[in-house]
Amino acid sequence: MVKFVSVALFLAVLSLCIACQSVPAGGAGDGQPEPALSEEEGRELYERKCGRCHDPVPEGRYTARQWAGFVRAMAVRSNLTSAQREQLTNYLAEHARRSN
């Protein structure tokens, strides 16, 4: 029960943070976009970095904007480099739920 409440609280706070954020554009600070990952590489990065602490959720559960906020919020905890952050955000955006 405590774990459920903790996860629910975390998601609520994260949702509030996401509401004011936009999808990042551009590369890792040098003006050049990071090379796109293959489907397999993107899934592996997602499972390796996000699955370390919790079960990865289906990519289609959230919109690209929501995923961008999650990645931004969890980047430090996940030890993502700026390149991995951009690549993971792009991978998740490609598989995200389309907003209505």
What's the CA gap between 98 and 100, in Å, rounded?
A: 6
Please report, as a single letter, which amino acid is at residue 72. R
Boundaries of every domain in the chain: 38-100
At 19-70, the pLDDT tens digits run 444 444 444 455 666 678 888 999 999 999 998 899 989 999 999 999 999 9
Has residue 92 got a pLDDT over 70? Answer: yes
- What tokens appear for 85 in the block? 């952050």
Please give the C-alpha separations between residue 31 and each of 12, 22, 28, 34, 70, in angstroms, as whole numbers: 33, 18, 7, 9, 23
